[in-house]
Amino acid sequence: MPSEGKQPLFVLVRPQMGENIGAAARAMWNFGLDRMRVVGPRDGWPNEKAVVMASGAGRLLDEAQVSDTLAEALEDTTYVFATTARIRGLTKPVMSPERAMALAAEKLAAGEKVAVLFGPERAGLENEDVARANALITVPVNPDFPSLNLAQCVLLTAYEWRRAQGEISHERMEIARGGDPATGGDIEAWATHLEERLDERGFFFPPEKAANMKTNLRNLWSRMPLTRADVQMLHGALRQLIRGKDN
């Protein structure tokens, strides 16, 4: 996954627990984001617990730009999103993560420098922080249980960034060995094989219903997304059933 391309900065504002900083780094890197800034971390920097938690994403912490104030962290940015669950008396556009990350991608493509702010664990961002943002992001959580933690909020935003890049495979068929689709000929041969063995054993009874029963049986096989390997296995299973227990 490209980490060279243009991407939003994720800015953790006054994060408290090192574990959460580490988990946020992991969540970013899960979706290919690796530019973190940290403003006024409560327990100083570097943070040992953050490093332990980040494990495979520790590089993000090593490379994180740390500052005392949010103003410093945003010195070179041109468009800022603030993630917040609560809106507090400020007039401001409020976007879904999906819309926000689509807009971020547009702005980055146009040469802007975009940041996303994430507030401290308990209180979230202060009005003073939010006033520096061009727009707010609110995750459409259950209003009866809107308790996303910091790393979850980072995860969902990073996921929407990944989605905004497109190129996601929405549906494909995983093909195991022999997993290519059975052909009309394969299905025909199998349906005929089964029909003949059943016919020999008097399955299609009474005679006036036989034609309908055969049609329904063929329809069953045609409706199934069978592979060539499936059909081979069915032939084998039928031969073995015919052979019987004692042979």
Binding site residues, its own copies, CB under 8 A: 1, 26-27, 29-32, 56-57, 87, 89-96, 98-99, 136, 139-148, 152, 155-156, 159, 162-163, 168-177, 179, 227, 229
Q: Which is nearer to its own copies, 51 or 198 (CB)?
A: 51
In which region does residue 108 sit, left (phi positive, over 0), alpha (psi from -120 to 50) or beta (all else)?
alpha
Cβ distance to its own copies smaller for residue 177 or 201:
177
Q: How far is the CB of 38 from its own copies (least distance, A)?
A: 20
Q: Which residues pair with 36 in a beta bridge?
A: 10
Comparing C-alpha atoms, which of 246, 213, 220, 245 is closest to residue 234?
Answer: 220
* Strand 9-13 versus strand 36-39 pairing type: parallel
Instruction: Name the residue nearer to its own copies (CB basis): 88 or 209.
Output: 88
Among the listed residues 170, 51, 173, 165, the one whose alpha carbon sits nearest the alpha carbon of residue 108: 165
CB of 127 to its own copies, least distance (A): 10
Shortest Å, Cβ 1 to its own copies: 4
**Minimum Å distance from CB 28 to its own copies?**
9
> Toward its own copies, which CB reaches closer, 71 or 90?
90
Helix (H) or strand (E) holding 106: helix 97-109
The first and second tokens of residue 218, run together, are 């063929």
